[in-house]
Amino acid sequence: MALREPIAPARVAAEDLLAFSGAVYEAVGLPRRDAELAADTLVQADLWGHQSHGVMRLPWYVARIRSGVVAAQAQPELVVDGGAVAVIDGHDGMGQVLAARAAEEAIARAKAHGIGAVAVRNSNHFGTAMYFTLMAAARGCIGFLSTNASPAMAPWGGREKAVGTNPWSWAAPAGTNPPFVLDIANTAVARGKIYLARQKGLPIPEGWAIDADGAPTTDAVAALGGITMPMAGHKGYAIAAAMDMLSGVLTGSSFGKAVTGPYQAERRGGTGHLMLALNIEAFQPLAEFEQRMDDYIAELKGVALARGVEEIVYPGELEARNEAANRRDGLTLPADTILDLLKLAAETGCKAPPQWTL
């Protein structure tokens, strides 16, 4: 049966998806530990409900490894080691592996100095930023991570793509609650969500993008050939530019038009990141901070509701709920994503989850 014939989506356990993704990464040359990490970042995004950054992206990452623009076994080099500050040259390695290294370095330096700041140059797209800031939150730190990305929107007032979505994330422990975590792009929507809409054959909302002629569009294909709009008008553009300053200019990596995303297999990424960790114990006892976070979240959730609203949630709460439900019930992927993964299974000789049999 042809791989592009219709297939009914089926729920798959996260563990099965993790094993398959890890096996694919190993098959194209990643060491097992790195393969498991890279696979986990994808499956975790799906668990959180962010399918735009989940296993849908596995074929894109594999294509970049196969083409050689991503070095499967690159050795990151510590080029600056200055106490609380470090700079890592990733030598074109997997962005997920380099971001995890940066997070561990930043946390260790924060424990020693109160704050840790780690810049990464010559990296690649790393997936979901909150995966790495949550590493800091789990260790009693507040984590911040910025990255630059390939051009997706125009500078405010322009009509040519020159600024990336340039996402950023904060995460902190939140007492008796799941971690407080923010992960956003500076465009009206992460470009991956437009790709997901294309994958599902769905229109996109008005205001997400304009087409190549500058006209508003709800067609995902036309949007990908056009320009993604900034969030909050000129403010989104300005924040995106600031994140490129931190992630690209400061780190010594590429910036602006010189950055390549995971959607192209023929050009090196040149991506840069900046990871910060703040050791909460350097500011106040961790238990006191967590109690204050409990109080803060209770205050937010206790605000009188606007008409038609059933509940107030704090940043990170929905992701925690989604993960619990998806771990219990399994994940459902779009049919086109399953077909792309089945093709990858055939190419690499890796065994796909049995739920995907045609």
> 225 or 318, which is more confident?
318
pTM: 0.93
- Percent pLDDT > 90 in the chain is 82
Query: Would you please indicate which residues are annotated as catalytic (active-site) residues?
Result: 125
C-beta of residue 114 within 8 angstroms of C-beta of residue 246: no
Q: What are phi and psi of 163, to 5 degrees?
A: -125, 135
What are residue 151's DSSP bridge partners?
A: 164
> Residue 247 carries which DSSP code?
I
pLDDT band at 192 (very low <50, low <70, confident <90, very high): confident
Mind listing the pLDDT tens digit for each residue in 69-87?
A: 999 998 999 999 999 999 9
pLDDT value for 234: 94
Mean pLDDT of 202-211: 91
State yes or no: pLDDT of 358 exceeds 60. Answer: no
pLDDT value for 6: 47
State yes or no: pLDDT of 201 exceeds 70. Answer: yes
> 234 or 196, which is more confident?
234
C-beta of residue 269 within 8 angstroms of C-beta of residue 243: no
Report the candidate in 345, 357, 343 with the shortest Cα–Cα distance to residue 19.
345
What are residue 276's DSSP bridge partners?
A: 117, 144
Report the candidate in 169, 165, 90 with the shortest Cα–Cα distance to residue 128.
169
pLDDT value for 7: 57
Whole-angstrom CA distances from 257 to 119, 149, 189, 213 are 20, 9, 20, 20
User: Between the CA atoms of 251, 252, 256 and 260, what dihedral angle is there, to the nearest 10 degrees?
Assistant: -90
Distance CA 27, CA 158 (A): 43
pLDDT value for 3: 47
Mean pLDDT of 89-109: 98
C-beta of residue 135 within 8 angstroms of C-beta of residue 103: yes
State yes or no: pLDDT of 67 exceeds 70. Answer: yes
pLDDT band at 118 (very low <50, low <70, confident <90, very high): very high
